[in-house]
Chains A and B, each alone.
Chain A
């Protein structure tokens, strides 16, 4: 509760004292949008943390070793993530559903355990120090990036490209019959999603003094978290995953009063959403809750005659 009281009593002070939280929301929002793109085109790809890692390490290493200006580092890191996206997508995008999910988990784990933890240039398991990070200065660029990316992705879903993605998500076989080159459009979505994730990773790395190769950062834990943003936020609309990222990044703060019971409250909240809003927080039906079939209807008993 303290959290909300602070928000309403002193918004400016809140903004200044919670900048860490705010940029985290921004980064998570961008990554969630990257997840939205693949889900919107019917691909259950869990590769986002892998592309984030590519973006993060590339941009930090370029800054450390070549002392290039930050925008150049981030741009190059984003592009490299896109190239990796093409290379990963070529073999992997023939798979569908759970099989694609498993293959992309294979990619992120191979990258993290096989490459990042083994190369001395990435600091092996110890991580990489980034003395040039600017946690405070990064807040506004991150939020602006979020707004721009969400806007662009929203526009894309409205055009011919977005129509093709929606068709593929609904029924690949029918999409083919309408002349839609399914492999090509899947690849476009996958690579765009890789670019966005790479960009988010590069940004995030420059908001921290330390690039942590842990599981919670670039591993399965992170990917499940991102998937939670997208699915519970609502994957049918661009804003859904962003709203999901916002709510679930805030959860630990909101329930901070619960102390050790934090995870219980967060878990109950997740279950409640799945049960009462299966389409996600942002989705069809306004904000109406869905009544699960096992929940008894509040019954009004008619008076018995006589």
Chain B
């Protein structure tokens, strides 16, 4: 065994980010670590690499114990890593970045440097040659070696970070979402790179949300959910494991529809194409209140949304579902006027959303409840709600509406004078939705309302959403918890890497095995 974890735990306050995980990674393997958003994958990597302390449990790389050692020692033991949000030395050249990676292997040359003894310049020449070789081996063009790391294109920055990690001559390479934000051909390139490094004998622990990548490249996969390992095995075993499917797609609540999907399995893949084309033809509403067509949005070089078209009619509940990083939140943020699209159009009740500013859009009745809730943790519940009515001039009516909202969410009324930060995750989500309601929405955008919530709280939140809908508010829901979202949605669109993969009524999609594949690859 190259890497061994024994019952590793790490809690943050009451949150069990990593809750007793044991793993064994064999030498020479590519081992995948997957799990829904917030499952504790990055925390586990941070614990292993010494950035976050172990609460309990132990870990070894071969015979060297990692437990309780500082990050730089763990790096010098041969555990190299990359970061989810690229962390290069931006103002240094690409070459300097890689040379810094050789730090632990270099003899301390301070005195020689002071004396400027020429023999030691040979050492520097060797390092430069080695660094150039490493850059070449990860597929970086030679011309980029003298450029500042921060100026390289996004994909090259990812590769440079890998080259820098390789400069440590590691025994184990931890890749934290190396393909995040890449287009399919760049992802293919990263996949080939990972396979090539592994063929040269490097053991790799890969974390990524792209299931096609993880399932395609890894020999073994472990799945985390709520900090616990819920499954491990070969990609085939894991992707058909019913607990894994439940963790990814969520549960259907009272309707218990997950069995329909779980039964999908591998056998049904032949009917897939038919089911998909049938679903694609699902008719769109005629007189839509929200009309999005051919929307394309990019962040710099990364294209997050590629030509997405959909409509929402008044009174509907429409869900956008898909795995993390599919582009769902970007679509919502574009509709809210927070991001401008590259091309395509979006209109709400005659208002052009691609040019209107966010406050105009809110006044027209299109209100977003953002992902992660974004409440003011130090203000009380009441103050949070009052702030939402701050711009309004109808003081009395606004106060009455706050009381109404508190009646709708009694828990908020009970806790009106507590600080919002002391509420549980589910209550905070209620508060965020309540705040959205105070803006008198005709169309309410909900971004991941179930994010990070325990199943029974998810039930409560979804019950509240259904009630709001019954009162006549149109809802556009973005969810990772697909089964939950499909269970309450009139229609839904499945998004994968910025495109609409298929669409149809909630019930149709619930029975469509292609949905599972969009989440778990295949």
Contact = CB atoms under 8 A, between A and B. Distances in A.
A166 B110 contact: no
B162 to A, nearest CB: 12
Contacts, number: 90
A173 B73 CA distance: 13
A152 interface: yes
Interface in B225-251: none
A305 interface: no
Nearest to B81: A177
A159 B106 CA distance: 10
Interface string B266-281: 0000000000000000
A170 B71 contact: no
Q: How large is the interface on B (under 10, 10 to 19, 20 to 34, 35 or more residues)?
A: 35 or more
Contacts of A178: 72, 75, 100-101, 103-104, 164, 167-168
B376 to A, nearest CB: 24
A177 B89 contact: no
A33 to B, nearest CB: 15
Contact of A173 (B51, B103, B107, B109): B51
A160 B106 contact: yes
Interface string B160-173: 00001101100000
B173 to A, nearest CB: 11
A118 B116 CA distance: 46
Interface in B75-91: 75-76, 80-81, 83, 87-91
Contact of B168 (A160, A164, A173, A179): A179
Contacts of B90: 170-171
A163 B75 CA distance: 17
Given A166-B89, A176-B72, A177-B81, A159 B103 contact: no
Among A152, A160, A177: residue with most chain B CB under 10 A? A177
B219 to A, nearest CB: 25
Contacts of B164: 178
A66 B100 CA distance: 48
Interface in B459-479: none
Given A163-B99, A166-B89, A167-B100, A180 B110 contact: no
Contacts of B51: 173, 176
A246 B429 CA distance: 59
Contact of B103 (A155, A158, A180): A180
B109 A176 contact: no
A174 interface: yes
B113 interface: yes
**Residue from A156, A171, A182 having most chain B Cβ neighbours under 10 A:** A171
Given A167-B89, A179-B103, A155 B71 contact: no
Interface string A123-167: 000000000000000000000000000001001101111111011
B92 interface: yes
A215 interface: no
Contacts of A175: 89, 100
Nearest to B99: A163
Contacts of B99: 163
B100 A164 contact: yes
Contact of B100 (A156, A158, A166): A166
Nearest to B75: A179
B87 A160 contact: no
B108 interface: yes
A159 B109 contact: yes
Contacts of B100: 163-164, 166-167, 175, 178, 180
A194 B107 CA distance: 26
Contacts of B83: 173-174, 177
A147 B119 CA distance: 24
B130 to A, nearest CB: 14
B210 interface: no
B72 A179 contact: yes
A27 B108 CA distance: 31
A152 B167 CA distance: 28
A173 B76 contact: no
Contacts of A167: 89, 92, 100, 103
Contacts of A181: 70, 72
Nearest to A152: B114
Interface string B102-146: 011011111011101000000000000000000000000000000
Contacts of A170: 89-92
Given A160-B108, A180-B72, A174 B88 contact: yes
B49 interface: yes
Contacts of A174: 83, 87-89
Interface in B26-85: 49-51, 70-73, 75-76, 80-81, 83
B427 interface: no
Interface in A56-105: none
A175 B83 CA distance: 12
A156 B110 contact: yes
A177 B112 contact: no
B210 to A, nearest CB: 23
B103 A163 contact: yes
A176 B114 contact: no
Nearest to A159: B113
Given A166-B92, A166-B96, A155 B116 contact: yes
B103 A160 contact: yes
A174 B84 CA distance: 12
A178 B81 CA distance: 9
B395 to A, nearest CB: 40
- Output the residue of A173, A179, A182 with the most chain B CB within 10 A: A179
Contacts of B167: 178
A305 B324 CA distance: 53
16 contacts: A159-B112, A160-B108, A160-B110, A162-B113, A164-B103, A173-B51, A173-B87, A174-B83, A176-B71, A177-B49, A177-B87, A177-B165, A179-B72, A179-B168, A181-B70, A181-B72
Given A171-B90, A179-B168, 15 more contacts: A152-B114, A155-B116, A159-B113, A160-B107, A161-B108, A163-B103, A166-B96, A174-B88, A175-B100, A176-B71, A178-B103, A178-B167, A178-B168, A179-B103, A181-B70
